[in-house]
Amino acid sequence: MGGCEHHSPIGAAIGDCKLQNEKPKWVVRRADFDRLFPVLTNRGYEIIGPTIRESAIVYDKLSSVSQLPAGWSDEQEAGTYQLRRRGDQALFGYAVGPQSWKKLLHPPVLRLWSANRSQQGFHAETEEEPSPRFAFVGVRACELRAMGIQDRVFQQGAHTDKTYRARRSQAFIIAVNCGQAGGSCFCVSMNAGPKADSGFDLALTEILEGGRHDFVVEIGSELGAEVLRQLPCREATGEDIARADRIMAETSQSMGREMDTRGIKELFYNSLEHPRWDEVASRCLTCANCTMVCPTCFCTTVEDSTDLSGDHAQRWRKWDSCFTMDFSYIHGGSVRATARSRYRQWMTHKLATWIDQFGTSGCVGCGRCITWCPVGIDITEEVRAIRVGKTEGAN
């Protein structure tokens, strides 16, 4: 079979949906899914997707569907993460791993410029390498929301980040609606999942039942329609769509955690002296893991280096964190010298001041900061504790 059996309807679907407000969906069989990768590669994309490295599911460069974590899932709780075998061959049967797509759009380490001294003097060169064209395979709804949040930070403010903008604008995004929630997930509380509702080129719902293994596919862009046209597919029936909807409903009902976000901005603005900050500081190691794994945290520092001759210099940008002592260092000392003040800064920014700064919460409920905190500090539990404290009249 060549391209999609319903070649014309896919083309028409995008125009129709604007009028009908209901998009037709399509079904790609697992047996035909392998064709997706050559289609993307032939279009010049570098494919990035989930794969297993060092006992975790991470995002890395892929050349074949066989590198996806087929038959694997993850068990997550506060401070713990473990892979386990599934009873089927689901390609996307896990929640989210330690890495987010942030590492590709907002690189952890980036050389900003280098300078060399010659007899004519110093000559500085900025980094002008062509930007990679990524195809992201397996982006979860919470991660799409996180990208939208970082868009505001890097593209929609007074200053744009050209590295982020170039990578983001070219990225082809294949979302995957979550077929199961992780133990640390609370995207429903943050209104960020488990179903991807926008921001993708294609969105998949993986269906495994009764020997069937298919993907229900939703088109999110003209480019997505073009790619789908190159795959064997059929139009989804009402039963296919109902099954996909049931999966979403079941996932929504099985969130590992929840967070009460009512009045959360005011709650945190009124809790700056809450005794819970001392309690959490007694456990927090200020290791910065929570900020490194968070898909929305964006802080960086800048470091200059020179060689011993003094003829070559470079300026690097690196991820930093509000949990490091140096991050708030100004002459004379660090503004936030204690674990109490640093944890309070992080959480108050995430859940309160971010709203005033960028118009959204800084948290999408992915649960990574809970899973990857070495001492199991749980942001949902901390919100609960602060809320209860307020109810009991604590200041």
348 binds ligand SF4 (CB under 6 A): no
Nearer to ligand SF4, 228 or 373 (CB): 373
Taking CB under 6 A as the criterion, the residue among 254, 261, 286, 334 binding ligand SF4 is 286
Nearer to ligand SF4, 28 or 373 (CB): 373
What angle (nearest 5°) sits at the alpha carbon of residue 316, between those of residues 313 and 319?
Answer: 160
Residue 248 makes CB contacts below 8 A (sequence gap 6+) with 177, 194, 195, 205
Q: What is the DSSP letter of 64?
A: S
Nearer to ligand SF4, 1 or 375 (CB): 375
Kind of pairing, strands 202-209 and 172-176? parallel
Nearer to ligand SF4, 153 or 228 (CB): 153
298 to 174, 247, 294, 362: CA distances (angstroms): 23, 33, 9, 10
SS3 sequence of 150-216: HHHHHCCCCCCCHHHHHHHHHCEEEEECCCCCCCCCCCCCCCCCCCCCCCCCEEEEEEEECCEEEEE
Pick the closest to residue 200 from 186, 217, 213, 188 (CA basis).
217
Nearer to ligand SF4, 230 or 348 (CB): 348
- DSSP character string of 104-115: HHS-SEEEEEEE
CB of 338 to ligand SF4, least distance (A): 12
Whether the link from the prior residue into 132 is cis, omega within 30° of 0, is no
178 binds ligand SF4 (CB under 6 A): no
CB of 162 to ligand SF4, least distance (A): 25
Nearer to ligand SF4, 93 or 295 (CB): 295
Nearer to ligand SF4, 122 or 269 (CB): 269
Count the Cβ atoms, other than its own, within 10 Å of residue 292. 21
217 binds ligand SF4 (CB under 6 A): no
287 binds ligand SF4 (CB under 6 A): yes
Contact between 305 and 313 (Cβ < 8 Å): yes
289 binds ligand SF4 (CB under 6 A): yes
375 binds ligand SF4 (CB under 6 A): yes
Residue 358: half-sphere exposure toward Cβ, Cα within 13 Å = 23
Taking CB under 6 A as the criterion, the residue among 196, 231, 236, 294 binding ligand SF4 is 294
Taking CB under 6 A as the criterion, the residue among 62, 141, 203, 293 binding ligand SF4 is 293
84 to 25, 241, 291, 316, 361: CA distances (angstroms): 32, 29, 26, 39, 32
Taking CB under 6 A as the criterion, the residue among 51, 296, 324, 348 binding ligand SF4 is 296
369 binds ligand SF4 (CB under 6 A): yes
Write each residue from 235 to 274 as x if it is in contact with ligand SF4 (CB under 6 A), else as -, in one continuous string.
----------------------------------------
377 binds ligand SF4 (CB under 6 A): yes
CB of 130 to ligand SF4, least distance (A): 31
276 binds ligand SF4 (CB under 6 A): no
User: For binding to ligand SF4 (CB under 6 A), which residues are involved?
Assistant: 284-290, 293-296, 323, 350, 363-369, 373-375, 377, 379
